[in-house]
Amino acid sequence: MGIQLEIDGQPVTVEPGTTLLEAAKQAGITVPTICWHEATTSYALCRICVVEVAGMRLLQPGCIVEAADGMRVQTRSERVVRARKTILEMLASSVDLSDSPDILALMDEYGALPERFPEAERREVELMDDNPMYLRDYSKCVLCWRCVQVCAEDAQYTFALSFSGRGYETEIATFFDRPMPATTCVFCGQCVGVCPTGALKPKREFMLEQGMGPEEIAVMSSGRKRKRT
Amino acid sequence: MLKPDRIVSTTCPYCGVGCNLQLHVKDDFIFKVTSPFDAVVNQGNLCVKGRFGYDYIYHPKRVTKPLVRRYLLEGKTKPESREQRTEISDATTLHSSDPLLSSFWDWLPVDWDTALDLVASKLAEIYRRDGSDAMSVYCCAKATNEDNYLLQKLFRALFRTNNVDHCTRLCHAGSVVALQQALGSSAMSNTASEVVHNDVLMVVGSNTSENHPIIALQMKEAIRKRGAKLIVVDPRRIDLVDFAELWLPLKPGTNVPVLTAMAHVIVEEGLVDHEFVKARTEGYENFVASLEKFTPEYAESISGVPAEDIRKAARLYASAKNGAIYWGMGISQLSHGTASALALIHLAFLTGHIGRPGTGLNPLRGQNNVQGASDMGAMPFHYPGYMRVDDESNAAKWEAAWGVEPGGLSRRLGLTTTEILAHAHPGGVRALYIMGENPMMSEPNLNETRKHIQNLEFLVAQDLFINESGAFADVFLPATPFAEKDGTFTNTDRRVQRVRQAQPPRGDSRPDWQILCDLARRIERRLEIDTVKWDYSGPEQVFAEMASVVPDFAGITYERIEQTGLQYPVWDREHPGTPFLFADSFPRGRGVFTPLDYVPVVEPVDDEYPFILTTGRLLEHWHGGTMTRHSQLDALYPEARVELHPADAEIHGIRDGMAVRVTSRRGEVVVRASVTEKTTVGVVFLPWHFAEAAANLLTIDALDPQAKIPEFKACAVQVFPARDTDLANPEAVVKRGRY
């Protein structure tokens, strides 16, 4: 009863409901991902996982499109490679990817040029340090939505994070831009755990990166007094 | 981006869920905690304590050198009254001749030989003089199975006493006694991962979202994604009520009438699973006869829960395909805790919601290893594996395993936690060894506990910090936290999981198991015994010794739980573990129904003390606070707050955030008020983590007659407006959106 399709010329049989991303994986073919995560619902936001399906006008996001009988799929056609390269170049032109080794590796692999769009407006947001547990640096945010998802029905049912703004102005935010302690946040850090770009980071990791020693961090974070907001 | 030197897999040291952690370590400093998304217990989810709450390890106040009081070190006679002191004195004042500058109770840092020799000599001296009954020990629900096994072995094999207990007595003792009596086993009957297969969940007296956050996530998933229905029975409007079909806001201490009225409805409306009752239980007829007076209307008159809601709850639970009950301290921490738990067990018996996947009776265990510490015999009535100490063949087995002469081990039941301190007087208990517990926060009626602890002749504390109890000790032995030792924890669903060392012990601190083995050898020399084995190569060997005697663990080895923990019982090396219990029968054979009576709480409200105080926990803190008050978690929630219903607040002229004085017949605390509909009219709630406003100064030391668990969940208090300047720390303010 399996679904039979062809990926990169290779015949593959999968269960109904299998996405093209999973089908490729079963065939031993790696399709790159950025916003996709095993523990969150896929919404095809970043489009890095696009593949070319014969007979379909547009490239198809592998993370949500399900395999169908007789599909002929190419995961690395010229069109696919060009699309991925452009996506990476657009990301690099506006977002600080210095903490995203996986994306930087993809850029190397696809020969993406960070300087391709010199006129692009860079996303520059002030580092947010409003709670004792983690920092938010949305200059590094690629809007993958994972943090919003795990805060909502993919894990926590806490709904502290959401979107604000539209179009290019879109960013991850709390309601009315309240500081994290003033929201419904339970500080579970699931958002930190799924962030692919270091936009969300445990405070102690950040302090260590800043060159502070373990002893210094321990003393800093042992103060009983709380910053008044 | 930081590259960790190593990533160490281990098990969370906080609650009984037992989440799998990965510690990212650089330069012997844990800078990040993650969890694998394929973890069987928690699927990559963590709560604030698990992910961020480990920083107490590095807190500057952590004690990393053994400490001894000056009077002991200088060989002076012990001064009359014990002094509570948390600060370490400067070593340079050691031989000060000026009596004004020196104090007998100064804490002085010493080397391990000095500290352990002192402890060994003193314990041996008291034992020789006053015998076994003078010796006692609190094991630790936060330490590993191996640590607990060794500590109870030390006191049983060397001091021949069963005065061995730990904080389970203050936690699920009522549930344990009830489950033992009704079906012969006290563990959670199912796996937490079965939660998503429940179609009706009943959560009773458990604020699951704050105390077992990851199990609450699974409940929410079952409800939101799989259409399960939730019944919450709790005096507070806890977070889970937002997800519930029915909320039964009962008055604290009225579990028996409410739950038994549900049984009444189930019987009256013909919802009983007669096949199950006939095949698997006994005492049904007597029980049904006892239900007559427990009408929903009767229950309403006592509990305040509308009779119609009790009927709806009974129908919903009874008509479930897979109904499961989860409960917490709201059931067991009462002077009739055993009866409350029995009332729940009856519901499962009547409806047959037990012994199948996705059904069951699930007492949610509090501490990371309270299940394990109980399994390891850290209890006054049992050897490891729940073998009664008064059973001759059990004693003989352990005598053989431990190299004790036949007849050497004590066959008498020991004293429980609360009883140990109550017996602290000349002619009674003289020495107490505390590993990692904090009775000066966790016992009820602390003003009384303080007197008891001062009556001890010799007190040893083995811990990370000088907590409120260790501050009374004669010797302090610095142990290591979970990240600096190897061993195993057993979580709430009986899964034995590995704990792994991620960094070397800080300073001179030592893993508990090493301290105990070293100490035991020194005691043996003084008692002229050399038959008991203490030369373990490591925790793995300790576990193997235990598993060679206890059949439940016979099939568990470190090798088998290297990747994923196993759920005991594991009968042999091929056995795959036991996800759910009681498929075919109960350990005692048939499940027993016990007719119940309604017994009111010991201290009813009156004009002088018109509120019922119920105590509990917060997401951000952990029990006595030894760990979380030394963590950044304290910055998230830095003060105790008393919850008061708006209607009550108005009558008493109290506004949200105002300082108030809460008094009972036993003590008083000053805290800020949270005026909130999270609590119900006539009920106030106070968390018990905060030493500066310890809720247990107020609580009553009335005990359940069978389980000896104190009535933490109900006593009478009054609330008066106070001034901000009366607060212990007016600077500390909780400013959080969710509270």
Token pair in block for residue B242: 């937002």
**What mean pLDDT comes out for the span B370-384?**
95
Q: How confident is the model at residue A103 (pLDDT cuts 50, 70, 90)?
A: very high
Question: Residue B670: which domain range?
Answer: 611-726
Q: Give the CA distances from residue B474 to residues B68, B632, B669, in Å, rounded to whole numbers and listed in that order.
A: 6, 30, 28
Would you call B3 an interface residue with chain A, using a CB distance cutoff of 8 Å?
A: no
Q: Do B630 and A222 touch (CB under 8 A)?
A: yes
Do B283 and B333 reside in the same domain of the chain? Answer: yes
**Distance (Å) from the alpha carbon of A71 to chain B's nearest alpha carbon:** 31
Region of poorest pLDDT, from B131-135, B186-190, B546-550, B669-673: B186-190
Residue B619, domain CATH: 2.40.40.20
Q: Do A221 and B213 touch (CB under 8 A)?
A: no
Alpha helices in B66-212 (DSSP H): 70-73, 112-130, 145-153, 159, 173-182, 208-211
Q: How confident is the model at residue B584 (pLDDT cuts 50, 70, 90)?
A: confident
pLDDT at B94 over 60: no
Q: How confident is the model at residue B97 (pLDDT cuts 50, 70, 90)?
A: low
**B196: in domain:** yes
Region of poorest pLDDT, from A120-129, B158-167, B184-193, B317-326: B184-193
Would you call B226 an interface residue with chain A, using a CB distance cutoff of 8 Å?
A: no
pLDDT at B331 over 50: yes
| Chain B residues lying within 8 Å of A190, measured CB to CB | 44-46
**Distance (Å) from the alpha carbon of B734 to chain A's nearest alpha carbon:** 9
**B602: in domain:** no
Cα A193–Cα A199–Cα A203 angle in degrees, nearest 5 = 70
pLDDT at A224: 43
Do B419 and B331 reside in the same domain of the chain? Answer: no
DSSP conformation letters of B396-439: HHHHHHHTPPTT-S--S----HHHHHHT-STTS--EEEEES--H
Q: Give the CA distances from residue B54 to residues A185, B30, B142, B570, B626, in Å, rounded to whole numbers and listed in that order.
A: 19, 8, 14, 32, 12
pLDDT at A227: 37
Do B165 and B180 reside in the same domain of the chain? Answer: no
Contacts of B316 by beta carbon, 8 Å cutoff, 6+ apart: B200, B229, B231, B245, B246
**What mean pLDDT comes out for the span A209-224?**
78
Of B27, B225, B619, the CB nearest to A214: B27
**What mean pLDDT comes out for the span B383-396?**
95
**What mean pLDDT comes out for the span B94-117?**
77
pLDDT at B674 over 80: yes
Domains and CATH numbers, chain A: 1-122 (3.10.20.740), 134-220 (3.30.70.20)
pLDDT at A222: 60
| Chain A residues lying within 8 Å of B58, measured CB to CB | 214-215, 217-218, 222
**B606: in domain:** no
Do B149 and B213 reside in the same domain of the chain? Answer: no
First to last CA, chain B: 35
Region of poorest pLDDT, from A157-171, A207-221, B3-17, B404-418: A207-221
pLDDT at A137: 96
Tell me: the pLDDT tens digits for B269-325?
999 999 999 999 999 999 999 999 999 999 999 999 999 999 999 999 999 999 999
Would you call A183 an interface residue with chain B, using a CB distance cutoff of 8 Å?
A: yes
Would you call B579 an interface residue with chain A, using a CB distance cutoff of 8 Å?
A: no
Do B421 and B542 reside in the same domain of the chain? Answer: yes
* Closest B-chain CA to A133: B52
Q: Do A157 and B220 touch (CB under 8 A)?
A: yes
The fraction of chain B above a pLDDT of 90, given in percent, is 88
Q: Give the CA distances from residue B595 to residues B273, B276, B514, in Å, rounded to whole numbers and listed in that order.
A: 19, 19, 49
pLDDT at B90: 64
**B598: in domain:** no
Residue among A196, A164, A190 at smallest CA distance from A177:
A164
SS3 label, residue B107: strand
Q: How confident is the model at residue A220 (pLDDT cuts 50, 70, 90)?
A: confident
**What mean pLDDT comes out for the span A81-103?**
96
Do B618 and B544 reside in the same domain of the chain? Answer: no
**B60: in domain:** no
| Chain B residues lying within 8 Å of A213, measured CB to CB | 27
Mean pLDDT of chain B: 94
Would you call B34 an interface residue with chain A, using a CB distance cutoff of 8 Å?
A: yes
Q: Do A184 and B738 touch (CB under 8 A)?
A: yes
Would you call B733 an interface residue with chain A, using a CB distance cutoff of 8 Å?
A: yes
Region of poorest pLDDT, from A92-101, B77-86, B99-108, B457-466: B99-108
Q: Do A188 and B634 touch (CB under 8 A)?
A: no
Q: How confident is the model at residue A98 (pLDDT cuts 50, 70, 90)?
A: very high
Best of A150, A156, A222 to disrupt the B interface (most B CBs within 10 Å) is A222
**B58: in domain:** no
Do B12 and B108 reside in the same domain of the chain? Answer: no
Q: Do A133 and B48 touch (CB under 8 A)?
A: yes
Do B177 and B294 reside in the same domain of the chain? Answer: yes
Q: Give the domain-ending residue among B363, B387, B410.
A: B363
- How many CB pairs below 8 A link A and B? 126
Paired with B170 in beta bridges are none
pLDDT at B103: 82
| Chain B residues lying within 8 Å of A135, measured CB to CB | none
pLDDT at B407: 95
**B508: in domain:** yes
**Distance (Å) from the alpha carbon of A31 to chain B's nearest alpha carbon:** 20
Do B133 and B197 reside in the same domain of the chain? Answer: no
Which of B 687-706 lie inside 8 A of A, CB atoms? none
* Closest A-chain CA to B61: A222
Whether B601 contacts B334, CB under 8 Å:
yes
C-alpha radius of gyration, chain A, whole number: 20
C-alpha–C-alpha distance, residues B669 and B676, integer Å: 20
**What mean pLDDT comes out for the span A61-73?**
97
**Beta B135-138 vs B431-435: how paired, if at all?**
parallel
Would you call B403 an interface residue with chain A, using a CB distance cutoff of 8 Å?
A: no
pLDDT at A57: 96
Q: How confident is the model at residue B345 (pLDDT cuts 50, 70, 90)?
A: very high
| Chain B residues lying within 8 Å of A185, measured CB to CB | 737-738
Cα A147–Cα A151–Cα A154 angle in degrees, nearest 5 = 95
Q: How confident is the model at residue B91 (pLDDT cuts 50, 70, 90)?
A: low
C-alpha–C-alpha distance, residues B517 and B532, integer Å: 11
C-alpha–C-alpha distance, residues A53 and B192, integer Å: 42
Q: Give the type of residue at A26.
A: Q
Would you call A153 an interface residue with chain B, using a CB distance cutoff of 8 Å?
A: yes
pTM: 0.94
Of B43, B46, B735, the CB nearest to A181: B735
Tell me: the pLDDT tens digits for B117-172?
999 999 999 999 999 999 999 999 999 999 999 999 999 999 999 999 999 999 89
**B429: in domain:** yes
Would you call A38 an interface residue with chain B, using a CB distance cutoff of 8 Å?
A: yes
Of A155, A178, A226, the CB nearest to B217: A155
SS3 label, residue B230: strand
pLDDT at A219: 77
Whether B642 contacts B679, CB under 8 Å:
no
pLDDT at B83: 84
Do B357 and B374 reside in the same domain of the chain? Answer: no
pLDDT at B194: 86
The fraction of chain A above a pLDDT of 70, given in percent, is 96
**Distance (Å) from the alpha carbon of A205 to chain B's nearest alpha carbon:** 5
Look at chain B and report how many structural domains it folds into.
4
Q: Give the type of residue at B60.
A: P
Do B541 and B630 reside in the same domain of the chain? Answer: no
Region of poorest pLDDT, from A217-226, B293-302, B651-660, B665-674: A217-226
**What mean pLDDT comes out for the span B63-82?**
90
pLDDT at B100 over 80: no
**What mean pLDDT comes out for the span B670-686?**
97
Q: Do A193 and B225 touch (CB under 8 A)?
A: no
What b/e string do you get for B157-185 counting C-beta neighbours within 10 Å, with b at 16 or more?
Answer: bbbbbbbbbbbbbbbbbbbbbbbbbbbbb
* Closest B-chain CA to A131: B636
pLDDT at B697 over 60: yes
Residue B205, domain CATH: 3.40.228.10
Backbone torsions φ then ψ of B720, nearest 5 degrees: -120, 150
Would you call A197 an interface residue with chain B, using a CB distance cutoff of 8 Å?
A: no
pLDDT at A221: 67
| Chain B residues lying within 8 Å of A99, measured CB to CB | 1
Whether B283 contacts B160, CB under 8 Å:
no
Residue B40, domain CATH: 2.20.25.90
pLDDT at A1: 72
| Chain A residues lying within 8 Å of B39, measured CB to CB | none
Containing A111, the helix (H) or strand (E) segment is none
Do B324 and B388 reside in the same domain of the chain? Answer: no
